[in-house]
Amino acid sequence: METAIIQLDGDNFTIENVIAIARAARPVALADVARGKIEASRAHVEQVITRGKPTVYGINTGFGIFANVAINARESAQLMRNLILSHSAGVGEPLAGEIVRATMAIRANALAKGFSGVRPVVIETLIEMLNRGVHPIIPAKGSVGASGDLAPLSHLALVLTRDENDRDEESGEAIFRGERMSGKRAMERARIARIILQAKEGLALNNGATVSAAIAALAIHDAENLAAHSEIALAMGLEALRGRSAAFDDRLQRASNHAGQREAARKIRELIRESKLIDTSERVQDAYSFRCAPQVIGAARDAVAYARKIVEEEINAATDNPLIFLDIAEENKTRSGGNFHGEAIALAMDFLGIAVAELANISERRIFRLTSAHLNDGLPMMLIENGGANSGLMMAQVTAAALVSDNKTLAHPDSVDSIPTSADQEDHVAMATNAARHAREIVWNATRVVAIELIAAAQAIDLRLKQLGLRADALGRGTRAARDRMRAEIAYLDRDRVLSNDIERAVRLIEKEMLTAR
């Protein structure tokens, strides 16, 4: 496992970095190149506090609807603590640990850009929590993804911050070494000092659509992986049905002008190369779910690529408010705006969710075709040899149908919704967090649909080989490797058994990228 330290400089963070930190616990450090910018912007905040002027939102004023309320220097630290306490209003089940880790890394990287006016210790504390495995409990619901993910980020901030009283019950909760405990206790056991926030720092911690971006980054990685496995499942099913290769000809794909489509067709051609089953039926054309697969999978790939571009921009963005620009000539070097607004993520995640739902939709149609004796080119009904006494993959297809139907509800765009908040000061919100959560759930559902397709395709291949008296070397190079890997984990279905176990084994093969490994 790679252990090289990932340096956070605010500008060069990637989705691959997020995955490595969130899932493989790669160590993190604050890049030396970022320190000068961080310290310089902090010096400007200190100057504003000392002088009491100019009036700067969030430094010497209240927040949201209280933006016009002046705050003096003596109250600034308590203002920050109150912000975190009052905004810790999330509800629901805790976010997954990998989302929490991704959130901490993205927030640290945003602050490392040097526009937020925090002390280096704020960023370093986040990094130490990552490196020592302190994972705050963050309720999943309670953000509209517009003034940032205020509630979930405040629950995160509860764990790393304190006030003079340092009450255990106001320290949030965290997981440390597999045990759930108060945030104060977790930090003590990890030997990480909790910090008393100074002016601007609370706002810098909880302002920004960072939870939305964290969920989005994970969903994008998983969607890309799922698209690759959709191509494998399609190719295996094409072998089992002795499908036509003409639909994947590169001349057809070039004529379409769509890059994702051309790439999907190329991968399918590679998977079925040297097959002795392809093009051996008398059909002139296959059904759309096979023949048009490059158009659907390719379009989904293009949609995911768009989402990747947006989210990689977001995870390298300064997203709190106000921001500090030391090149401004006037006394007030801050600018108050709306970089915390999650509209870009909301739109990208809505698009991603719809695209992945389509991967599942066409996958389920192929499952249906494989399991129906009326459509599968002479294979047994439900892909079981002793049908009647055995039900075969009947209910696996039903499960796939249920999942794709669930996706159709989840794919309703969240970005078209807006509910004004904060006494109408925040009168248009993005619902980015809901969009990201729903997209991730769609990916979860779709992964299980494609897992079912892989099971059905492997079963259909074995039945076809047996029917024709052929060995596995009749398959294309790629499809044979995938079928053999499937069989190493999931046995041929010769009689009814508990299918949920097989489905989850296939899911693990997808998630661990074991079918795409060369």
Same domain, 84 and 54: yes
Same domain, 315 and 194: no
Residue 235's CB is within 10 A of a number of other CB atoms, namely 29
pLDDT in tens, 408-431: 999 999 999 988 888 777 888 999
Give 276's contacts (C-beta < 8 A, 6+ positions apart): 470, 474, 475
Sheet strands (E) in 111-202: 134-136, 139-141, 161-162, 173-176, 179-182, 195-196
Same domain, 228 and 157: no
Same domain, 245 and 202: no
The model's confidence at residue 69, banded by pLDDT at 50, 70 and 90, is confident
Mean of the per-residue pLDDT values for the chain?
A: 95
Any catalytic annotation for residue 288? no
- Return the CATH number at 33: 1.10.275.10
Query: Rounded to two decimals, what is the model's pTM?
Result: 0.96
Q: Is the pLDDT score of 57 beyond 90?
A: no
Q: Of 293, 239, 271, 231, which Cα lies nearest the Cα of 463?
A: 239
Q: Give the pLDDT of residue 55.
A: 86
Tokens of 284: 């002139």
**Structural domains counted in the chain:** 2
Q: Give the pLDDT of residue 62.
A: 77
Residue 1 belongs to some domain of the structure: no
Residue 245 belongs to some domain of the structure: yes
The model's confidence at residue 487, banded by pLDDT at 50, 70 and 90, is very high
Question: What residue numbers bound the domain in which 175 lies?
Answer: 6-207
Same domain, 255 and 202: no
> Coil, strand or helix: which one is 424?
helix
The model's confidence at residue 79, banded by pLDDT at 50, 70 and 90, is confident
Same domain, 190 and 278: no
Please confirm whether the linkage preceding 420 is cis (ω < 30° from 0).
Answer: no
Which of 331-345, 347-361, 411-425 has the highest mean predicted lDDT (pLDDT)?
A: 347-361
Which of 146, 174, 207 finishes a domain? 207
Q: Is the pLDDT score of 75 beyond 90?
A: no
Same domain, 411 and 485: yes
* Catalytic pick among 57, 288, 306, 492: 57
pLDDT in tens, 439-482: 999 999 999 999 999 999 999 999 999 999 999 999 999 999 99
